[in-house]
Chain A
Amino acid sequence: MSEVLHEVTLTVNGVRRTASVPARRLLSDFLRHDLTLTGTHVGCEHGVCGACTVLVGGEPMRSCLMFAVSAQGLEVTTVEGLGLLPDARVCATGQSMNPVQQAFTECHGLQCGFCTPGLLTTVTAYLDDHPDPTSDEARAAISGNLCRCTGYQNIVKSVLRAAEIRAERRVPDAAEPGERHPKPAAAGGGPS
């Protein structure tokens, strides 16, 4: 059966992207296969593991539980876009990182790295709404993201450290979800 293709256009990390895909193309596969943004990882494909979490309209959602056709016209931020957000700074490695990425680097918040893209996007949105979490709250915030290395101790530390870095960078609290996207102007290469 040759499937009908739909032209899907959405804004990913501040850049308008278009691809023709069948209706059944999951947003996760659209990002990885059609747009070759392989930073978004695919784990369970039924919404349990959290690895594929991206920001849609600034809010964390499972990209494996959305069809690309349903995301038509929406703004999506993947892990590749976090370094382009307004709160990102160029770090010692020479790369631009937002506070959460910086904190995971400092605190050894990843081991194999498979769950990391989902954690980074989830925590980025969480800290906008909860800029100063306790460790209990941090633990609850990441409860929808499974780390099979079981590296949760350092992930919780990373969340708390990210809140500190955020404060140091004077990121405004509780930005509107819609502002949680790289601006098109920054889309070329990001702050450098």
Chain B
Amino acid sequence: MKPAPFVHHAPRTVEEAVAVLAEVGHDGKVLAGGQSLIPILNMRLASPGHLVDVNHVSGLGDITITPEAVRVGALVRHSGLERSEAAHAALPLLRQAVVNVAHPAIRNRGTTVGSIVHADAAGEMPAVLALCDGTVEVVGANGIREIGWHDFFLGALETVLRPDELAVAARFNRMPPGTGTAFAESARRSGDYALAGVAVALTVTDGVVSAAWASFVSVTDVPSVLDLTPVVGGHEARSGSFDNALDRAAEAVREHVAPETDIHASADYRRMLVAELTRRALPLAALHATSPANDSFEVERRGAPTRSLTNPSFDHHRVV
């Protein structure tokens, strides 16, 4: 359980980091928070010859809020994003989701951008990037490029990043006016990888749902966004007809996802679980959309969506 030897590089600037990455090519790996990478190294699932440690690179530690987006630098720790009141006010989904990432001690070190670049199908933040129609900002030997989430992920643990490229920030687009969001996931133990999870956004215009969409954790290889507007759109938010439409939303999710069976849960169970989580998250997003004032005072807690929603007919499916 010790890593294999490697050469440690500690660049001070993005340019230096990219130069080293270009030089070492496929034998190099970027080390930021390391909360996914170091376990992999410890278990010798990977043994890159060079680690480019970007922890001392300047200019990567900021959270920037613009009217359009929340830009998160590559050295922003999950806990920094979690505590940022400005980021929470601009895009509540970020805190709603990030409190579900592992344990506080992991969030104190792990970075949000690192989690996106790691591209684990069980990662929360790639799903959030997708729901926000987000972008990854990348610097490479040939300069800067911006990659939309849709083009960024190739497969589980695989992205379009080239060996000489460093992701310097992720940009999460803010939601349209009247939009509420929610995040729900279910894990076997607190802080463990989710068996299934969902991020939802729902827009209410003049009291009626005008758009809804969802992205998923642990049930799709790469992040994917499902448009739920056809099934819940047109219904008055938080009405009986909206609640009825949730059944069709759950059905749409079941058809959309492609979970795999593993030692922890069957594909069928994950499919049932993520559909149910979506059914519970949508009304919460509707609540946030119609009473945003509540949201700013709400303390986001792990699992809160699945605990706080009451739906007596589904009590026997309680997953928390």
The answer to whether A6 and B35 touch (CB under 8 A), given A26-B2, A61-B109, is no
Number of interface residues of B (CB under 8 A): 32
Assembled-state Cα–Cα distance A61/B104 (Å): 8
Q: At the interface, is chain B mostly helix, strand, loop or mixed?
A: loop
Shortest distance in angstroms between A135's beta carbon and chain B's nearest beta carbon?
A: 15
Stretch at the interface among A63-71, A86-94, A98-106: A63-71
Stretch at the interface among A12-20, A42-50, A147-155, A165-173: A42-50
Interface residue? A24 (CB, 8 A): yes
Assembled-state Cα–Cα distance A114/B41 (Å): 24
> Would you call A4 and B38 a contact (CB within 8 A)?
no
Measured between beta carbons, the chain A residues less than 8 angstroms from B6 are 23-24
> Would you call A61 and B103 a contact (CB within 8 A)?
no
Interface size class of A (residues with CB under 8 A): 20 to 34
Q: At the interface, is chain A mostly helix, strand, loop or mixed?
A: mixed
The answer to whether A144 and B39 touch (CB under 8 A), given A22-B5, A69-B8, is no
Interface residue? B43 (CB, 8 A): yes
How does the 8 Å CB contact mask read for B172-202 relative to A, with 1 for contact and 0 for none? 0000000000000000011100000000000
Choose one: A6, A22, A61; the contact of B105 (CB below 8 Å). Answer: A61
Measured between beta carbons, the chain A residues less than 8 angstroms from B43 are 46
Assembled-state Cα–Cα distance A22/B5 (Å): 8
How does the 8 Å CB contact mask read for A27-66 relative to B, with 1 for contact and 0 for none? 0010000000000000001110010010010011110111
Interface residue? B4 (CB, 8 A): yes
Q: Which residues of B contact A (CB under 8 A)?
A: 1-8, 10, 31, 34-35, 38-39, 41-43, 51, 53, 55, 79, 102-106, 108-109, 189-191, 302
